[in-house]
Amino acid sequence: MEYHTSEGTFQVGEEPYLLTPGPLTTAISTKAAMLKDWGSWDDDFKAVTAEIRSRLIAMCGGEGTYDCVPMQGSGTFSVEAALASFIPRDGKALVLMNGAYGGRAAKTLEYIGRDYIALDKGDYLPPMPEEVEAILSENQDVTHVVAIHCETSSGILNPLKGISDVVQAAGRKLIVDSMSAFGALPIDVSDIPFEALVSSANKCIEGVPGFGFVLAKKAALEAAEGNSHSLSLDLYDQWSYMNKTGQWRFTPPTHTVVAFLEALRLHEAEGGVAGRNARYVSNRDILVSGMRRIGFETLLEDEWLSPIITTFFSPRDHKFDFNRFYNEIKSRGFIIYPGKLTVADSFRVGCIGALDATVMKGVLKAVEESCAVMGVTEFGPPDGVK
Ligand SMILES: *Cc1c(COP(=O)(O)O)cnc(C)c1O
Q: Is the pLDDT of residue 187 over 80?
A: yes
The candidate with the shortest Cα–Cα distance to 354, out of 28, 70, 52, is: 28
**Residue whose CB lies within 8 A of the most ligand 1 atoms, among 154, 157, 177, for a mutation test:** 177
User: Could you tell me what percent of the chain has a pLDDT over 70?
Assistant: 99
Q: Could you identify the atom of ligand 1 that is nearest to the CA of residue 148?
A: 13
> Which amino acid appears at position 377 of this protein?
T
Distance from Cα 125 to the centre of ligand 1, integer Å: 19
pLDDT band at 201 (very low <50, low <70, confident <90, very high): very high
Q: Is the pLDDT of residue 5 over 90?
A: no
pLDDT at 322: 95
**Residue whose CB lies within 8 A of the most ligand 1 atoms, among 18, 20, 152, for a mutation test:** 152
Q: Is the pLDDT of residue 384 over 90?
A: no
pLDDT at 10: 73
**Residue whose CB lies within 8 A of the most ligand 1 atoms, among 71, 98, 180, 337, for a mutation test:** 180
pLDDT band at 2 (very low <50, low <70, confident <90, very high): confident
Distance from Cα 75 to the centre of ligand 1, integer Å: 5
Q: Is the pLDDT of residue 7 over 80?
A: no
> Which amino acid appears at position 310 of this protein?
T
Query: Which residue minimizes the CA distance to atom 12 of ligand 1?
Result: 179
Average pLDDT for 223-239: 98
Q: Could you identify the atom of ligand 1 that is nearest to the CA of residue 203?
A: 1
Domains of the chain, residue spans: 2-22+270-374, 39-253
**Residue whose CB lies within 8 A of the most ligand 1 atoms, among 107, 146, 179, for a mutation test:** 179
The phi and psi torsions of 217 (rounded to 5 degrees) equal -60, 135
List ligand 1's pocket residues with C-beta within 6 A.
Answer: 21-22, 74-76, 79, 101, 148, 152, 177, 179-180, 200
Q: Is the pLDDT of residue 12 over 90?
A: no
Decide which of 3.40.640.10, 3.90.1150.10, 3.40.920.10, 3.30.390.10 is the CATH code for 39-253.
3.40.640.10
Distance from Cα 235 to the centre of ligand 1, integer Å: 18
The mean predicted confidence, pLDDT, of the chain is: 96
pLDDT at 171: 98
pLDDT band at 145 (very low <50, low <70, confident <90, very high): very high
The phi and psi torsions of 241 (rounded to 5 degrees) equal -65, -45
Distance from Cα 97 to the centre of ligand 1, integer Å: 14
Rounded Cα distance, 308 and 203, in Å: 9
Q: Is the pLDDT of residue 151 over 90?
A: yes
pLDDT band at 22 (very low <50, low <70, confident <90, very high): confident
pLDDT at 220: 98
Distance from Cα 309 to the centre of ligand 1, integer Å: 13
Distance from Cα 178 to the centre of ligand 1, integer Å: 9
pLDDT band at 200 (very low <50, low <70, confident <90, very high): very high
Distance from Cα 300 to the centre of ligand 1, integer Å: 20
Dihedral through CA 96, CA 177, CA 74, CA 121, nearest 10? 30
Average pLDDT for 128-151: 98
pLDDT band at 8 (very low <50, low <70, confident <90, very high): confident
**Residue whose CB lies within 8 A of the most ligand 1 atoms, among 24, 72, 76, for a mutation test:** 76
Q: Is the pLDDT of residue 278 over 90?
A: yes
Q: Is the pLDDT of residue 13 over 80?
A: no
Rounded Cα distance, 281 and 292, in Å: 16
Query: Which residue minimizes the CA distance to atom 6 of ligand 1?
Result: 75
The answer to whether the beta carbons of residues 343 and 385 sit under 8 Å apart is: yes
Q: Is the pLDDT of residue 136 over 80?
A: yes
User: Could you tell me what percent of the chain has a pLDDT over 90?
Assistant: 92
pLDDT band at 4 (very low <50, low <70, confident <90, very high): confident
Contacts of residue 156, Cβ cutoff 8 Å, sequence gap at least 6: 98, 99, 124, 126, 150, 300, 304, 306
CATH class of 2-22+270-374: alpha beta
> Which amino acid appears at position 31 of this protein?
K
Distance from Cα 185 to the centre of ligand 1, integer Å: 16
Average pLDDT for 148-169: 97
Distance from Cα 195 to the centre of ligand 1, integer Å: 19
Rounded Cα distance, 308 and 199, in Å: 14
The answer to whether the beta carbons of residues 130 and 160 sit under 8 Å apart is: no
The per-residue DSSP string of 207-257 comes to: --SSEEEEEEEHHHHHHTTTT-S-STT-HHHHHHHHHHHSS-SS---HHHH
Distance from Cα 213 to the centre of ligand 1, integer Å: 12
Per-residue pLDDT tens for 80-123? 999 999 999 999 999 999 999 999 999 999 999 999 999 999 99
pLDDT band at 6 (very low <50, low <70, confident <90, very high): confident
